[in-house]
Amino acid sequence: MYTEQVMDHFTNPRNVGEIKDANGVGEVGNMKCGDIMRIYLKVNEDEVIEDIKFRTFGCAAAIATSSKITEMVKGKSISDALKVTNKQVAEELGGLPAPKMHCSNLAADALKKAIENYQANRAKQR
């Protein structure tokens, strides 16, 4: 059903947890469909993602895509990070089962929300 990469990220997820002093937080999903992803960002002065963590309630695909995206964007600029799509995340994991492409492939959306939250916070600070 799942690729080895998905199972790897599900069993050994990277960057699980919270960032206490995060400057960007984003959450997508809802309890109805059963997947909730929350992403915490620590973006530095140069607009580079210095640290990123996630918490996810959901199936293996949801956990793996969350884990994968944190790995993909850690150390990247937020403008590069914004270019990452859900589809790319799935591809990096060797693909997802068809029914999971829609419901559990939301990590890029969560990241986008976290970056927007960071930008909003920044704007307020100015």
Partner 1 sequence: MRKVYLDHAATTRLNEEVLKEMLPYLTEHFGNPSSIHSYGRKARAAIEEARERVATALGAAAEEIIFTSGATEANNLTIRGIARALREKGNHIITSAVEHHAVYDTCLALQKEGFDVTILPVDEYGMVSVNAVADAITDKTILVSIMLANNEVGTIMPIAEIGKLCRERGIPFHTDAVQAIGNIPVNVDNLNVDLLSLSAHKFYGPKGVGALYLRKGTRLSVYHHGGAQERKLRPGTENVAGIVGLGKAIELAVKDLEPKANRIRALRDKLQEGLLAIEHTKLNGHPEQRLPGNLNVSILYVEGESLILSLDLKGIACSSGSACTSGSLDPSHVLMAMGLDHQTAHGSLRFSLGVDNTEEDIDYVLKVMPDIVARLRSMSPVYQGGSK
Does 94 bind partner 1 (CB under 8 A)? Our answer is: no
Among 11, 33, 79, 83, the active-site one is: 33
Give residue 125's identity as a one-letter amino acid code: Q
Shortest Cβ distance from residue 16 to partner 1 (Å)?
Answer: 5
For 98-114, b where at least 16 C-beta lie within 10 A, e where not — what string? Answer: eebeeebbbbbbbbbbb
Q: Among residues 22, 43, 52, 60, which is the contact residue for partner 1, using CB under 8 A?
A: 60
Q: Of 25-33, 43-51, 71-79, 81-89, which part binds partner 1 (CB under 8 A)?
A: 25-33
Strand-by-strand arrangement of the 24-30 sheet: 24-30, 35-43, 49-57
Q: Among residues 23, 86, 104, 117, which is the contact residue for partner 1, using CB under 8 A?
A: 104
